[in-house]
Amino acid sequence: MAGGNDTLSTRLSPFQKIYLLLVAGFIVGPFLPVIIQSLAFRWAWPELLPGTWWLEQRGKSMLPLAWDYVLSPYSRVWEATVNTVFIGLVVTAICLAICLPVARLLARESFAGKSAFEFFLTLPLIVPEAAIGIALLMIFIRLGLAGSYAGIIIAHLIPTIPYMVRMLTAVYQGLGRDFEEQAMILGARPLQILWRVTLPMLLPGVVAGALFTFLVSTNIFLLTFFLGQGQVITLPTLLFSKISGGNLDTTAAGITLIVTLPGIILLIISERFIKEEAFGKGFGS
């Protein structure tokens, strides 16, 4: 890419340089005051830096302040993290299991009603989440699923399936079926083909799909909030309950940073192991 012809500049224009800096500031800049707030004891307007820091007060209070609270079991941060990861993993596993065969069908076969089916698959992405969430709650309360892990996991499948199917279908399409056929001609049994040939070739795409599904699941707020009934807390709902009044106090700032942490880890993993193009399939056309 970078080695292209120079008629169309491959270098940034001055405007683009400034633009990149502004965007970077817009995206990560606001984290700085959150870090400061998380270390403050009292930080009132118009101070640019806290008048009193947490460490100055740490010994004087019997109560765990700031990070002492955030990192203690009292804040429920650990419980929420475990829940978020657990729900994300189960959703990813189920989603993968039910989407793989469907993606294979969509990529390779044509059947009656295929385009209708494909359209139906994208519907969850364009029906507003609030509509699904409130309507599902009514059903779940009656089925006894409200406030349970099972209910939340099932609900998370709805917005994750469309992404997963899209990404996996693209992978199968790119794969072609020649490899499997060659293996079959060479006398391999179907299971062997799946295990030795198809899966390894699919793996990068499957990992991308799984990561993306996990990412979507860990980011879901509304469905968890409506269907969890306060009994199952995840990182997004924990943070919501801290800031729902529109105020970010010391412990809320600490929790904001903790909620950001898994995202940073995911970012590093996905950036290192997955090509941009594969990831883009989840978002783009």
Partner 1 sequence: MTARERRTRILQLLQLIPILSVLVILFGGALVMALLQSLGFAPWFGINTFPDFSYFGSLWGSQTFWVSLWLTLYYATVSTLLALVFGTMLALALIKAFPGKWLYKYLYKLPLMIPYTVGIALAVIMLSSGGVLSRIVAFAGLIDDPGQFPQILKTHYGWGIIAVYVWKQTPFITLAVYAVLLGIGRETEEAAAILGARRGAIFFRVTLPQILPGIVSSTLICFAFNVGAFEAPFILGGGFPDTLPVVAWRYFNDADYTLQLQGMATVVSIGIVAGVILFAYLWVYRRYERRMGRH
Partner 2 sequence: MKPNVSIFSLVAACAATSVWAADPDDAAFRDAFLSGNADWAAVEARAAEEGGVNIYYWGGNDLLNIWMDRVVAPAMAEMGVTLNPVRITGTKDAVDLVLAEKHSGKGIGQGSVDMIWINGENFATLKRQDALFGSFAQSLPNSVNLEWDESDPRAMLNVRDFGVPNDSAEVPWSGEQYVCAVNSARVADEDVPSTFAELKSYLEANPGKFTYVKPPHYLGNTFVQEAIYAHNPDGTGATPFQQSVDDIAPEELARLIAPGIEYLQSIEPNLLDAAGGSPRYPEDNKALDGLFLNGEIDFSCKFGLYAVAKGLEIGTYPEGAKQFVFPENTMIKNKNYLVIPGNAPNSAAALVLANWMASVDSQVSKLESVGMPSGIDGWKLSAEDAERIVNASPGLIGVTQADLDANAAPDTNATLVDVIEATWLEVIERDSTASIEEVVATAYANLGK
Q: Identity (one letter) of the amino acid at 63?
A: L
Is residue 219 a contact point for partner 1 (CB under 8 A)? yes
> What radius of gyration do the chain's Cα atoms show?
24
Q: Which of residues 235-264 bind partner 1 (CB under 8 A)?
A: 235-236, 239-240, 243-248, 252-253, 256, 259-260, 262-264
CA dist., res. 281 & res. 285, Å (int) = 7
Among 28, 116, 185, 191, binds partner 1 (CB under 8 A): 28
- The vertex-19 CA angle with 14 and 21, nearest 5°, equals 100
42 phi/psi in degrees, rounded to 5: -135, 125
Residue 28 binding result from partner 2, partner 1, none, given CB thresholds of 5 to 8 Å by partner type: partner 1
**In the chain, how long is the greatest CA-to-CA distance?**
77
As given in the structure block, the two tokens for residue 237 are 């709902």
Which residues, 6+ apart, have CB-to-CB distance to 210 below 8 Å?
A: 92, 96
With tokens 């939340």, the residue in question is 152
Residue 204 binding result from partner 2, partner 1, none, given CB thresholds of 5 to 8 Å by partner type: none
As given in the structure block, the two tokens for residue 191 are 């299971």
Binding string, residues 48-87; x marks residues near partner 1 by CB under 8 A: x---------------------------------------
Residue 209 Cβ, how far from partner 2 at the closest point, in Å? 26
Chain positions contacting partner 2, by CB under 8 A: 40-42, 44-45, 52, 57, 61-65, 69, 72-76, 139, 141-144, 146-147, 229-231, 233, 241, 244-251
Q: Which of residues 139-168 bind partner 1 (CB under 8 A)?
A: 139, 142, 154-155, 157-158, 161, 165
